[in-house]
Chains A and B, each alone.
Chain A
Amino acid sequence: MESFLNQIPAFFSAGNVTLLAEAVGVTIALTFFGCLVGFTSAFLIVMARQTPGRWAIPLRGAAILFVELFRRVPFLVTSYLVLFSIVIVIKNPSLFIVGLVSIAIYATAFTSDIIRGGFESIPRQQIEAAQTLNFGRWRTMLYVVIPQSWPVILPPLIIFMVAFVKDTSLVGYIGVFELAFRGKELNNQGFSGIFVYGFIALIYFCLSFPLMRFGYWLEKRLATSRGQESQRELR
Chain B
Amino acid sequence: MPHLEVKNLSASYGNLQVLHDVNLSFEKGEVVALIGPSGSGKSTILRVLMGLTPCTGGGAVLDGRPIDYRSAASVRAARDRMAIVFQQYNLFQNMDVMRNVTIAPIKIKRRARTEVEAEAVKILARVGLAEKGRAYPDQLSGGQQQRVAIARALALKPEILLLDEVTSALDPELVNEVLDTIRGLAKDGMTMLIVSHEMAFVREVASKVVMMDKGRVVEVGTPADIFERPQTDRAREFVGKILRH
State whether A229 touches B138 (Cβ < 8 A).
yes
The stretch among B7-15, B75-83, B114-122, B200-208 that forms the contact with chain A is B75-83
The stretch among B56-64, B90-98, B183-191 that forms the contact with chain A is B90-98
> In the complex, which residues of chain A have a beta carbon less than 8 angstroms from the beta carbon of B152?
133
State whether A128 touches B104 (Cβ < 8 A).
no
B86 within 8 A of A: yes
State whether A143 touches B139 (Cβ < 8 A).
no
Q: Which of A132, A139, A226 is B50 in contact with, Cβ under 8 Å?
A: A132
CA distance A129 to B92 in the complex (A): 8
CA distance A147 to B52 in the complex (A): 23
B103 within 8 A of A: yes
> In the complex, which residues of chain B have a beta carbon less than 8 angstroms from the beta carbon of A2?
none
State whether A226 touches B138 (Cβ < 8 A).
yes
CA distance A230 to B137 in the complex (A): 11
Segment 197-234 of A: residues with Cβ below 8 Å from B: 226-227, 229-234
Using known A-B contacts A125-B86, A144-B94, determine if residue A232 contacts B138 with beta carbons closer than 8 Å. Answer: yes
> In the complex, which residues of chain A have a beta carbon less than 8 angstroms from the beta carbon of B92?
126, 129-130, 143-144, 148
Closest to B104 in A: A133
B195 within 8 A of A: no
Segment 28-51 of B: residues with Cβ below 8 Å from A: 50-51
Q: Which of B86, B107, B139 is A129 in contact with, Cβ under 8 Å?
A: B86
Closest to A232 in B: B139
Q: Which of A143, A227, A231 is B107 in contact with, Cβ under 8 Å?
A: A143
A94 within 8 A of B: no
Chain B: residues with Cβ within 8 Å of the partner, total of 29
> In the complex, which residues of chain A have a beta carbon less than 8 angstroms from the beta carbon of B90?
125-126, 128-129
Q: Which of B76, B93, B103, B139 is A231 in contact with, Cβ under 8 Å?
A: B139
Segment 134-182 of A: residues with Cβ below 8 Å from B: 134-135, 139, 143-144, 147-148
B212 within 8 A of A: no
State whether A231 touches B94 (Cβ < 8 A).
no
Segment 89-133 of A: residues with Cβ below 8 Å from B: 125-126, 128-133
B84 within 8 A of A: yes
Q: Which of B52, B88, B107, B136 is A132 in contact with, Cβ under 8 Å?
A: B52
Q: How many A-B residue pairs have CB under 8 A?
A: 70
> In the complex, which residues of chain A have a beta carbon less than 8 angstroms from the beta carbon of B224?
none
> In the complex, which residues of chain A have a beta carbon less than 8 angstroms from the beta carbon of B108?
133-135, 139
Min CB–CB distance B161 → chain A (angstroms) = 12
Interface size class of A (residues with CB under 8 A): 20 to 34
For the residues of B in contact with A, the DSSP-based class is loop
A235 within 8 A of B: yes
Q: Which of B76, B94, B139 is A134 in contact with, Cβ under 8 Å?
A: B76
Using known A-B contacts A125-B90, A226-B93, determine if residue A131 contacts B51 with beta carbons closer than 8 Å. Answer: yes
Min CB–CB distance B67 → chain A (angstroms) = 14
> In the complex, which residues of chain B have a beta carbon less than 8 angstroms from the beta carbon of A139?
107-108
State whether B94 touches A234 (Cβ < 8 A).
no
State whether B52 touches A125 (Cβ < 8 A).
no
> In the complex, which residues of chain A have a beta carbon less than 8 angstroms from the beta carbon of B94?
144, 147-148, 226-227
State whether A226 touches B136 (Cβ < 8 A).
yes
CA distance A227 to B88 in the complex (A): 15
B140 within 8 A of A: yes
Bitwise, B140-174 to A at CB < 8 A (1) or not (0) is: 11001000000010001000000000000000000
Using known A-B contacts A132-B50, A134-B108, A139-B108, determine if residue A125 contacts B135 with beta carbons closer than 8 Å. Answer: no
Min CB–CB distance A79 → chain B (angstroms) = 39
Using a CB–CB cutoff of 8 Å, the interface residues on chain A facing chain B are 125-126, 128-135, 139, 143-144, 147-148, 226-227, 229-235
A-B contact sample (17 more), CB < 8 A, given A128-B90, A131-B50, A133-B103: A126-B93, A128-B52, A131-B79, A132-B50, A132-B51, A132-B52, A133-B79, A133-B104, A133-B156, A134-B104, A134-B108, A148-B93, A226-B94, A227-B93, A234-B135, A234-B139, A235-B140
A–B complex contacts, Cβ < 8 Å, 29 sampled: A125-B90, A126-B92, A126-B93, A128-B52, A128-B86, A129-B91, A130-B92, A132-B52, A132-B79, A132-B83, A133-B104, A133-B152, A133-B156, A134-B76, A134-B80, A134-B104, A135-B108, A139-B107, A143-B103, A147-B94, A148-B92, A226-B94, A226-B136, A226-B138, A230-B138, A231-B139, A232-B138, A233-B139, A235-B139
A-B interface, 8 closest residue pairs, ranked by CB to CB distance from nearest: A129-B90, A133-B104, A147-B94, A227-B93, A234-B139, A125-B90, A134-B79, A148-B94
